[in-house]
């Protein structure tokens, strides 16, 4: 198995739980993180080695990433497994799956690449690289089957883990937050590049918010390896004394908050499943941004908006993601309880659509692939 970055590690960890329930003696190895390790996974490399987004950013790490893929391919070919499962990270996994499938190894890709959003030409590579694709969104299997690609809708694993009605009071108690306070969760991303690009802007936004809402509380769930960078950004913004930073615990933070300022990515879907209004923001290298915008097929970037097919939450990207604009967008939520309630109802419907027995459905599909 190969999972890149924190979100892929989380999805792969949930999948491994289902695989181990079916096959208690399962042996799994490759590239993974702490969630996979908790399921007995043997990581030859840590998943954060692949946690790079953007064309220019990938170029900076290109030699290392290609070297890892070459070594991994050689090891897998020496000791062929019954199946290879690539979890997301399509730029890394699809090329690897193509080589392994040509060598006779069964390949499964978990999380359909977002060909419906951008880079539609990748469907041809998926066709050649994958024996089966496990889809987390309901409209994807028909799209793939139209091109002769075997696919199964398995639901989104997080929809089964996150409760339909999150317990805000319990989450606040666990985090030591007042029950009657306005709480804003700040999630500047799970990659070094994201924290570098967004954290200071997010904290400058918080400083502006405190001027109109002096009693508002801010809480940040930080991946431990990124915590020093987040703390440094908070100090530079002059917010260190008014901010609670916790190691991990992103689900508790999202359950506890009223609204979240959040980097575009899987975390936005987690926030939607927790029924939390949000402001989505993103910044990246200017060249990467220009190239990605040229290939974008939909007007939305955030997963909640893509799945709802409209701007149910605001997206402020690149130059639009200024502290003043972000602060205004957050205040627009806090000043409109009826609007907050409406989006929470919309997210409840989305949660129901995505909630399936993902581990069992995925394991059933993988078993059929292995049996051939």
The answer to whether residue 332 scores a pLDDT higher than 60 is: yes
pLDDT at 53: 54
pLDDT of res. 318: 86
Structural domains present in the chain: 2-155+356-371 (3.40.50.2000), 168-354 (3.40.50.2000)
Q: Which residue has the tokens 């299997």?
A: 141
* Angle (deg, nearest 10), helices 122-129 and 90-102: 40
Task: Phi first, then psi: give them for residue 291, nearest 5 degrees.
Answer: -70, -40
Verdict on whether the full-model pTM lies above 0.75:
yes
Is the pLDDT assigned to residue 142 strictly greater than 90?
yes
Instruction: Tell me the average pLDDT across 158-187.
Output: 95
Query: Residue 115 has what DSSP assignment?
Result: T
What Å distances lie between residue 151 and 112, 142, 316, 326, 361, CA to CA? 9, 8, 34, 39, 11
Percentage with pLDDT > 90 across the chain:
76
Closest CA relative to residue 154, chosen from 215, 243, 87, 107: 87
* Higher per-residue confidence, 193 vs 274: 274
For the chain, what's the residue count?
Answer: 372
Cβ atoms of 275 and 196 closer than 8 Å: no
Segment 61-69 long-range contacts (CB within 8 Å, at least 24 positions apart): 65/92, 68/31, 69/95, 69/96
In the predicted model, what is the mean pLDDT of residues 217-229? 93
Whether residue 1 contacts residue 35, with contact meaning beta carbons closer than 8 Å, is answered with no
Angle made by CA atoms 10, 240, 317, in degrees to the nearest 5: 55
Distance between CA atoms of residues 75 and 161, nearest Å: 34
Q: What SS3 state is found at 109? A: strand
Residues 324 and 327: their CA atoms lie apart, in Å, by 5
- The DSSP annotation for 222-254 comes to E-GGGHHHHHHHHHHTT-GGGEEEEES-HHHHH
pLDDT digits (tens, 9 = 90+) for 280-304: 998 876 666 556 665 555 677 899 9
According to DSSP, the residues that pair with 351 across neighbouring strands are: none
Q: How far apart are CA 281 and CA 317, in angstroms?
A: 5
Report residue 222 as tokens.
Answer: 């930080």
Question: Taking residues 76-100, what's their average pLDDT?
Answer: 95
Q: Which burial class, exposed, middle or buried, applies to 279 when counting CB atoms under 10 A from its CB (0-12, 13-18, 19+)?
A: buried
- In three-state secondary structure terms, 138 is coil
For 111, other C-beta atoms within 10 Å of its C-beta total 26
More confident residue, 62 or 124: 124
- What's 8's DSSP letter? H
**DSSP helix/strand/coil, 153:** strand
How far is Cα of residue 230 from the mean position of the Cα atoms in its chain? 19
Lowest mean per-residue pLDDT among 60-64, 66-70, 290-294: 290-294
Res 56: pLDDT: 47
Residue 350, C-beta contacts closer than 8 angstroms, at least 6 positions apart: 272, 273, 304, 307, 308
Q: What pLDDT is stored for residue 32 in this prediction? A: 95
Please tell me the predicted confidence (pLDDT) of residue 337: 96
Task: Report the distance separating Cα 155 and Cα 287, nearest Å.
Answer: 34
Confidence (pLDDT) at 364: 96
């Amino acid at each position: 198995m190969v999972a890149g970055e924190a979100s892929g590690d989380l999805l792969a960890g949930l999948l491994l739980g289902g695989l181990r329930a079916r096959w208690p003696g399962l042996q799994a190895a490759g590239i993974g993180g702490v969630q996979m390790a908790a399921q007995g996974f043997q990581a030859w490399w840590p998943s954060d080695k692949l946690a790079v987004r953007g064309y220019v950013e990938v170029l900076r790490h290109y030699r290392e990433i290609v070297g890892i893929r070459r070594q991994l391919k050689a090891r897998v070919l020496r000791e062929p497994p019954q199946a290879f499962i690539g979890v997301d990270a399509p730029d890394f996994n699809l090329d690897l799956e193509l080589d392994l499938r040509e060598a006779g190894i069964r390949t499964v890709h978990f999380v359909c690449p977002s060909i419906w959003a951008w880079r539609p030409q990748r469907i041809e590579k998926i066709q050649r690289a994958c024996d089966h694709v496990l889809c987390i969104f309901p409209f994807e299997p028909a799209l793939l089957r139209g091109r002769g690609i075997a696919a199964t809708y398995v639901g989104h694993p997080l929809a089964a883990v996150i409760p339909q009605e999150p317990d805000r009071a319990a989450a606040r108690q666990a985090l030591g937050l007042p029950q009657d306070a306005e709480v804003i969760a700040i999630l500047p991303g799970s990659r070094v590049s994201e924290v570098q690009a967004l954290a200071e802007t997010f904290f400058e936004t918080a400083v502006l918010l405190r001027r109109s809402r002096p009693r508002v509380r801010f809480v940040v769930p930080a991946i431990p390896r990124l915590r020093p960078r987040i703390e440094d950004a908070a100090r530079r913004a002059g917010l260190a004394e008014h901010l609670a930073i916790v190691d991990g615990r992103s689900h508790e933070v999202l359950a506890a908050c009223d609204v979240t300022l959040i980097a575009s990515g899987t975390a936005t879907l987690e926030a939607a499943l927790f029924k939390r209004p949000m402001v989505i923001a993103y910044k990246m290298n200017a060249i990467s941004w220009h190239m990605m915008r040229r290939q974008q097929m939909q007007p939305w970037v955030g997963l909640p908006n893509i799945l709802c097919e409209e701007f149910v939450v605001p997206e402020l990207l690149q130059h639009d993601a200024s502290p003043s604009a972000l602060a205004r967008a957050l205040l627009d939520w806090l000043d409109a309880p009826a609007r907050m309630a409406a989006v929470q109802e919309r997210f409840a419907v989305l949660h129901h659509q995505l909630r399936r027995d993902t581990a069992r459905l995925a394991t059933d599909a993988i078993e059929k692939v292995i049996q051939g």
